[in-house]
Structure 1
Amino acid sequence: MKFGIRMPSLKRRLAARTSWKRLVRHNLGLKAPRGMGFITNPKRALYNRVYNKTSVSADRLLRTNKTTPTSFSTSPKSINSSFLINLVIFIILTAIFFPFGIGFLIYKLYRYGKKQSSPPDPQGISAIVPGLQTETSLLNQFYIPEPTRSLLWITDEDVSKISSPMSIKITFNVSSGSANVDDGHNFFGEPSLIWTRLPIEPNNELETQPMYYPSYSGLSPKHRFQYLNWLKDITQETNLSYVFLYYYGLERHMLVGDYDKAVDEILKLLQYHNKGSFKGYATSALIAASAYRKRPDIVNKAPLLLQETSNGSLILRKLAGKSLMAKDIIALSSRVGYSNKRYIKLYPDLFEKELQKLINDHETINGKILSNINMDELPKRSNIFFANLSLPEKIRTIEIADLISSLEFKRILRDLLSKAHENVKILREHNKITEL
């Protein structure tokens, strides 16, 4: 016999309830009513009675009610109360989780329908080609008008593909031990590329501090909102960094996209944001891109380019068949080796008038000055004309003929300046004699 506290054995209880003997007896209907164990197995019944009298079950001590398993109530009242409790619990849980279940089902159906409505883009062409951008809700909410909207570079790609404009891809071949450096078109490094998955934060606080080498992916959510809001009307006053950011994308269009629309948009930017270093970058890019695309007709759209006396501007004038004016030759005087500027400083209007007469006479006899210069014999010079760092170096840096280094060009301009100097000198002496 065991005296004291006995611990309940779940293993023995489970074994007793799952034995083959019990299963067969119950299926055959040979189960005796509760309390008949003394008749069916008197030895086991006597043992259990003595065992229960000499020991106390640990689980019985933990029970709050005073009923024992042998005296468990199976009255209809207790069954009804437990059923009602379970029913109340079920209703409460259903009321809590049913709305969540309906909402989750609606969300999954919405996602499935959206996925089915958008066609796949296996080549990822819409990631960078302007004519194939998806009409995203990000741009729709800002109502960006044409032609600005069609000139934007937009992508719905994952933001993990964002790269630096100056990044270089290096591929290693393990078998051969060689390395291949690819510094070609870095489309996902395009600074003006609008990543629709990046967050924006509405605000009315315009950033006044300059942001050097800006990129859309590098802006804060507040700055992205300011930039997109400005694109609704690019003529409104804004941070010059946002102007540069939009301009980067226009540079790419001038080379590989819609040249004419990009030129018109840059000219509009120059009209309303002609400040800082923007004018220098924009004019040099217009000249270089037009020469690169063989479009000298840009001088008809942008007469301001004729006010420049840079090497690229002179080449563009030559391609367009334009003449040099007296102001241009005076501005080039030092670069062609003419140093006697006394009358240029003392009598600027008179000197310019006499010089223009000499230019007209020279071109009447010999043809336009620039047209007579053979560029094939001139040395080449490399210059960086584009501000967009994501463009390949071989495109940003264009090698063009150094027209100003032409000895024939320098000689012609020096002769014209010297003759103008002599004419002004004679006129001044004649005026002195007349005054006397």
Structure 2
Amino acid sequence: MGLFDRFKKLVVGNSSETLPTQPAVNIKKHSQPMQQHGITTQVIHNIPTEVAELMWFFDGPMKNLDAETEEPSGISFRLPVKKASAPTRMGYWPSYHKMSPTERYSYLNWLTNVDQPIDIGYVFVFFYGLERMIATPKHDAAVKMIHRLKEHHNESGSFSSYSDEALAYAALLYHDPTPLQYIRGTNTSMLILSKATFDHRLTADEIMSSSRGFGWDNTRYIKNEHELFEHNLLVCLQNLYKQDYYPIPNLLDQVPRTQLHLANLSIATDERVIDLGIIDGYHWTTTMRIPKRIDIPDFSQSKIISRDIQQLLKIAHEKTKEDLAKMRKNGERPKAAAKKPSRKKRINPDTGYPLSTEKAIACARELYKSTIAVHPQQLTGNPDYDEEMRIVDHVLPHYRLGDLQYKLGEWKEAETEWISILDLMGALAAEKLAIMYHKQHRYKDEMEILSAGMKVSQRSKVYPIPDKFADRLIAASEFYVKHSTEDESETFHSASGHKNSPDDAAHMTKQN
């Protein structure tokens, strides 16, 4: 535990918390009869006590939340619930109050056995409440439940990452390393945090799976010659350390920190007022909510560990390269065919559409999170300004969510989000759709969506026509004329239901 005692001192500033002196949760025994009637009460009666005691309620005999509290997992008996034959897929950052009646039934029914498979969105709703429960006397039970969810719902990389961060939060909050033993994700910082606390070692397999986290990008042999590379890495470990693992050093005085965020945006958020300056004669400001931040020691960035791991990987890489050359010379392996370097596209297996890089996805996700965390602008009494801010507050979450879905390869969902704001955002939303339509060979749709976006922006004070947008529309129109035989367009409708005509685009082209 000595290493944990040292690095816990690094937890400062926003990551430190004052533990509640009185129990923050006062849940009545689950066996007590409820006064409410209906499906909600019936299903909740079937939820095991160990699960029910970790849930949050806005009303009823199990009430433990004030009405003003923002908690996505909070249950109200006043919300309608309707039986469903099968769970539907949830969107991003789901919450109980935003669910449809049938989705609420699916969620409550799943809580009767949280081990059973279900769309990960439902798991996240329960997990949000567990994150809040960590700061209460029930934190040990919450940690064990998070571990249970990780064991049975390990198909989602996003859930794996967020749950690991919640476990680190619990460990640092109570200066107790126990939650770290449940970390199972692929985040190198979290893995080393766990391993440095408990068995103080990294196996060959762990080094290989985390190689990129240590700055080793040449993973060709790790992927294609896994067994040979692992054998050479084990030999290297034996030669350098006289054992089949890498011993994590005890003397790590200066360890960099990395900042993590909890998934539940309603927990312990700060508010920051951002001055946007004078725009069109108005003084613009916006209030942004900052999610809970956690500073943790980032052992993967330790110069000592990074140097050692990179040395191990380099030796194993060179030995694997040498072995393969000898095997090919002896006819034990076919000679590698000369190939032109190619970039293999990442594809979403569920949709067949391209996936962006993990970095681009993470950036889009953070932009969306920060957008939905901002409170709506308060009324100022200036009708023009208030109307403009109403539009901004409405369209930005849809715009950011569409961008995230596009990068995740969920193009149909992205199209729905962007079309829903076309009649308010105009050219900016149209440009996003046009890019996607062009990649789908929907050239006529590309031309029409740009025409529709221009019409909206011509009369919009909030989102006017961008520079060179007319040229963009002309180019799309000309491209459609030349490639009309290759066109695979579908019919699209604006949010108001107006079907756009190709004649509109052609007329716009002539005008410009």
Q: Which residue, out of 242, 251, 263, partners 1:387?
A: 263
Q: Residue 99 of structure 1 aligns with which residue?
A: none
Over the matched positions of the two proteins, sequence identity in percent amounts to: 28
- How far apart are 1:272 and its partner, in Å? 3.8
Range 249-258 or range 418-427, more displaced: 418-427
Unaligned runs of 5+ in 1: 1-124, 164-187
Change (3 A) 1:311 1:397: same
SS in 2 for 1:235: coil
Residue 411 of structure 2 aligns with which residue? none
TM-score, normalised relative to structure 1: 0.54
Structure with the higher helix share, 1 or 2: 1
Structure 2 counterpart of 1:348, which letter? H
Q: 1:237 to 1:418 in 2, by over 3 A?
A: closer
String of CA shifts for 1:258-278, please: whole Å, max 9, x gaps: 233223323333344444433
Amino acid at match of 2:199: G
Distance change (3 Å), C-alpha of 1:422 and 1:129: same
* 2:258 pairs with 1:378: no
SS in 2 for 1:357: helix
- Of residues 309, 316, 323, the one that matches 1:413 is 309
Structure 1 or 2, whichever has the larger Rg, is: 1
Q: Who is 1:285 aligned against? A: 166
2:200, 2:247 within 8 Å by CA — same for their partners in 1?
Answer: no
How far does the alpha carbon of each residue in 1:365-406 deviate from its partner, in whole angstroms, 9 at most, with x for none?
A: 8995423451x413322221x211121137831012232222
Match of 2:202 in 1: 324
- Is 1:141 equivalent to 2:18 in the alignment? no
Which residue in the other structure is 2:96 paired with?
216
Change (3 A) 1:271 1:429: closer
Q: Which residue of 1 aligns with 2:131?
A: 251
Map Cα deviations across residues 205-264 of structure 1 (whole Å, 9 max, x no partner). Answer: 545142443333444555444433332222344454332211111112234342332233
Q: 1:112: which partner in 2?
A: none
The two structures have a TM-score, normalised by structure 2, of 0.47
- Cα contact 1:133–1:154 (8 A) shared by 2: no
- How far does residue 359 in structure 1 lie from its aligned partner after superposition? 2.5
| Whole-angstrom distance in 2 between the partners of 1:367 and 1:207 | 45
Per-residue deviation at 1:279?
A: 3.1
What is the match of residue 204 of structure 1? 84
Greater length-normalized contact order (CA 8 Å, ≥ 6 residues apart): 1
| Partner Cα separation in structure 2 for residue 230 and residue 343 of structure 1 | 43
The 1:417/1:154 distance shift into structure 2, 3 A limit, reads same
SS at match of 2:300: helix
Provide the C-alpha distance between the structure 1 equivalents of 2:159 and 2:189, rounded to a whole number of angstroms. 19
Report the AA paired with residue 228 of structure 1: L
> Which residue of 1 is the match for residue 225 of structure 2?
347
Give me the whole-angstrom Cα distance separating, in 2, the residues matched to 1:306 and 1:337. Answer: 20
Q: Deviations over 1:325-379 (max 9, x none)?
A: 22332334344344555644553211111212322454448995423451x4133
Looking at structure 2, the residues matched to 366 and 270 of structure 1 have their Cα atoms a distance apart, in angstroms, of 28
Q: Which runs of 5+ in 2 are unaligned?
A: 1-21, 271-290, 333-512
Query: Any idea what SS the aligned residue of 1:382 has?
Result: strand
CA distance in 1, matches of 2:64, 2:305: 53
User: Which residue does 1:423 correspond to in 2?
Assistant: 319
Q: Which amino acid aligns with 1:328?
A: E
Are the structure 2 counterparts of residues 227 and 428 from structure 1 closer, same or farther at C-alpha, using a change threshold of 3 Å?
Answer: closer
Residue 344 (structure 2) aligns with: none
Q: Distance in 1 between matches of 2:26 and 2:75?
A: 11
What's the secondary structure of 1:381's corresponding residue? strand
